[in-house]
């Protein structure tokens, strides 16, 4: 790959442009390293405006993702510099399909998002699911990817179009898996009511909680997002669920977080209110007696597995007692 002369052109209207700091955030490659690759090998060539301001395009970003992925998989930069874009893309496609490493798959998902490439997303997701199962795919692949996406969103490094595109694909996968799980539950199953506050948008996490519960044969009442406390009370009072689960990731503009948690716990009572989300830690919330914080995805899964095991042990103990009584009668 040969060096190219600096291209001077004004970015076209609607064209995605990036600074070198944007590239660093998106790819994880230090700006200093990008400049070295640019100057020594001509791997990434920025354009310049008429006023000599450097900027990078989607093509530059795509190339950097590809170079970083190949470099992590043992390819030397000096060798990559001699390859054509087509040769690099072909090797990347092979690695994305056959390399099960988490970082390689997350990079490939990020590229699929930037390219709005549904086919590549489907291939990566389906392959990982086939090898590891749906729950592990969400925990090991999708959630780390979403964490990265959240950082990119907060730093304005990706557009709403990219976020909505990938969010729709993940939501579709979650809905399909939820539908595959049987709705019937046993008599000893716990009842969970799931909802999001009016100003909360973390529906993918709520849907995944729905899947986790259905997969563990718990009863789920899914209210969805934009639920007021009045609506929550209307659902809780007649149903009396064992647990009410919600997420407070974003600030609540109408009232302090502490006031909202106190009010939600009061509405949920006597049910236990299960809470998760960054705002609970940012605001150092004092928990009401019937509330509990689940600190992240792994603690949530542990809580559900512990509950399921407790139910199983109770059921096994009841069966054993029944057999003992039957034996005594004989």
Instruction: State pLDDT tens for residues 112-167.
Output: 898 899 999 999 999 999 999 999 999 999 999 998 887 677 566 678 898 999 99
d(CA 110, CA 114): 6
Taking the C-alpha atoms of residue 283 and residue 18, their distance in angstroms, rounded to an integer, is: 34
CA distance 129 to 132: 5
Q: Is 95 contained in some domain? A: no
Count of helix runs (H) and strand runs (E) in the chain: 15, 8
- Please indicate, yes or no, if residue 265 is contained in any of the structural domains: yes
Q: Of 148, 180, 212, which closes a domain?
A: 180
CATH of the domain at 159: 1.10.1240
> Same domain for 123 and 193?
no
> Could you give the number of structural domains in the chain?
2
Please indicate, yes or no, whether residues 148 and 219 belong to a single structural domain of this protein: no
Same domain for 305 and 292: yes
Asked whether residue 33 is domain-assigned, the answer is no
First-last CA distance in the chain: 87
Question: Does residue 235 share a domain with residue 155?
Answer: no
Do 218 and 256 share a structural domain?
yes
Answer whether residue 11 is part of any domain. Answer: no
Q: Are 164 and 199 members of one domain? A: no
Of 158, 180, 202, the domain-final residue: 180
Residue 2's pLDDT is 44
In contact, 11 and 53? CB cutoff 8 Å? no
Verify that 157 and 188 share a domain, yes or no: no
Strand bridging mode 7-8 / 47-48: parallel
Are both 130 and 253 inside the same structural domain?
no
Residue 160 maps to a domain: yes
The pLDDT, as a whole number, for residue 283 is 86
Q: Is 296 part of a structural domain of the chain?
A: yes
- The CA-atom distances, in angstroms, between 49 and each of 53, 215, 288 are 5, 54, 57
Q: Tokens standing for 41?
A: 């090998």
Q: Are residues 191 and 268 in the same domain?
A: yes
CATH number for the domain spanning 203: value is: 3.40.50.280
Q: Domain of residue 194: give its range.
A: 184-315
- The answer to whether residue 321 sits within a structural domain is no
- For residue 327, being part of any structural domain is answered with no
Residues 174, 191, single domain; the answer is no
Residue 219: strand, helix, or coil: strand
From first to last of its 330 residues, the chain has per-residue pLDDT tens of 444 444 445 555 556 678 888 888 778 888 999 999 988 988 888 888 888 888 888 888 888 888 888 887 888 998 999 998 889 888 877 776 666 578 788 888 988 898 899 999 999 999 999 999 999 999 999 999 998 887 677 566 678 898 999 999 999 999 999 999 998 888 889 999 999 999 898 899 999 999 999 999 999 999 999 999 999 999 999 999 999 999 998 888 888 999 999 999 999 999 999 999 989 988 889 999 999 999 999 999 999 999 999 998 887 765 555 555 555 555
Q: Are residues 206 and 262 in the same domain?
A: yes
Domain end call among 180, 214, 240: 180
Same domain? 270 vs 192? yes
User: Global pTM?
Assistant: 0.77
């Amino acid at each position: 790959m040969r060096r190219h002369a600096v291209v001077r052109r004004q970015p076209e209207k609607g064209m995605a442009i990036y600074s070198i700091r944007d590239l660093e955030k998106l790819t994880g490659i230090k700006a200093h390293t990008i400049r070295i690759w640019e100057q020594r090998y001509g791997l990434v060539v920025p354009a310049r405006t008429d006023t000599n301001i450097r900027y990078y395009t989607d093509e530059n970003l795509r190339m950097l993702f590809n170079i970083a992925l190949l470099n992590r998989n043992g390819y030397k930069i000096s060798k990559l510099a001699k390859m054509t874009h087509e040769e690099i893309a072909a090797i990347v496609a092979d690695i994305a399909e056959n390399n099960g490493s988490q970082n390689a798959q997350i990079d490939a998902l990020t590229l699929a998002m930037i390219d709005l490439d549904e086919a590549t997303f489907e291939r990566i997701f389906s392959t990982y699911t086939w090898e590891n199962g749906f729950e592990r795919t969400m925990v090991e692949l999708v959630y780390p990817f979403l964490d990265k996406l959240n950082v990119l969103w907060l730093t304005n490094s990706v557009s709403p179009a990219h976020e909505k595109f990938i969010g729709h694909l993940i939501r579709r996968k979650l809905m399909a898996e939820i539908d595959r799980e049987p709705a019937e539950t046993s008599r000893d199953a716990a009842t969970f009511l799931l909802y999001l506050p009016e100003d909360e948008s973390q529906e993918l996490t709520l849907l995944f909680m729905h899947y986790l519960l259905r997969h563990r044969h718990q009863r789920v009442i899914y209210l969805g997002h934009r639920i007021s406390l009045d609506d929550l009370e209307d659902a809780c009072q007649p149903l009396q669920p064992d647990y009410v689960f919600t997420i407070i990731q974003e600030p609540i503009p109408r009232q302090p977080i502490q006031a909202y948690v106190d009010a939600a716990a009061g509405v949920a009572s006597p049910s236990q209110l299960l809470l998760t989300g960054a705002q609970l830690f940012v605001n150092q919330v004092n928990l009401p007696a019937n509330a509990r914080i689940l600190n992240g995805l792994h603690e949530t899964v542990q809580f559900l597995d512990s509950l399921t095991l407790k139910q199983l042990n109770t059921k096994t103990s009841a069966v054993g007692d029944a057999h003992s009584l039957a034996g005594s009668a004989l």
